[in-house]
């Protein structure tokens, strides 16, 4: 295989977007089982249009940027990133399961528990930033770009969830 083929193969087999797939399985697989407060109409009620627009623009960034990246496990930081990613994905899954199976619990009824599906995403986004230290394009790249986008998205997403909790 020539060098172009190797680079293309690496870009596909280790593409950062693959790290988004488990979160999408959790989200789309469990969304319909969440309590009614998480339904689109109830969740968006009373949330300003500007916040919804900012949140959606940042969502495109944090879910789109990994397409340009590929992951590894060479450096100590990347290895740490895999642990952060796995803990984050587990926390994200548990945040859904708590709302589904324990909706009347003190945790699920608290602002922290209700917004957990929003703020726990920061953990697995941070994991993605740590394991994806390079882009397969000939562009300058630093993980702080992704971390900044992820932090801004999680802030907007959590603010949205907080408003839904208040509503």
Q: Which two tokens stand for residue 83?
A: 């642990």
> 28 in helix, strand or coil?
helix
- Distance from C-alpha of 133 to C-alpha of 149, rounded to nearest angstrom: 15
Per-residue tens of pLDDT for the chain, all 167 residues: 555 555 556 557 889 999 999 999 999 999 999 999 999 889 999 999 999 999 999 999 999 999 999 998 889 999 999 999 999 999 999 999 999 999 999 999 999 999 999 999 999 999 999 999 889 888 888 999 999 999 999 999 999 999 999 98
Nearest CA-CA partner of 156 in 25, 62, 38: 62
pTM score of the predicted model: 0.91
Which residue reads 């940027």 in tokens? 65
Phi, psi of 35 (to 5 degrees): -60, 160
């Amino acid at each position: 295989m020539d060098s172009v083929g190797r680079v293309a193969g690496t870009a596909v087999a280790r593409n950062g977007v693959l790290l988004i797939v488990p979160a999408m399985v959790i989200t789309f697989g469990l969304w319909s089982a969440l309590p009614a407060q998480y339904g689109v109409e109830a969740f968006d009620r009373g949330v300003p249009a500007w916040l919804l627009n900012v949140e959606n623009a940042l969502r495109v960034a944090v879910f789109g940027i990994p397409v340009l990246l590929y992951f590894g496990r060479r450096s100590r930081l990347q290895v740490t990133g895999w642990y952060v990613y796995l803990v984050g994905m587990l926390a994200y899954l548990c945040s859904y399961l708590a709302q589904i199976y324990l909706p009347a619990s003190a945790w699920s009824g608290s602002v922290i528990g209700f917004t957990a599906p929003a703020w726990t995403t920061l953990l697995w986004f941070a994991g993605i930033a740590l394991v994806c230290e390079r882009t397969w394009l000939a562009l300058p790249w630093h993980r702080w770009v992704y971390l900044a986008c992820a932090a801004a998205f999680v802030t907007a997403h959590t603010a949205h969830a907080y408003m839904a909790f208040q509503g």
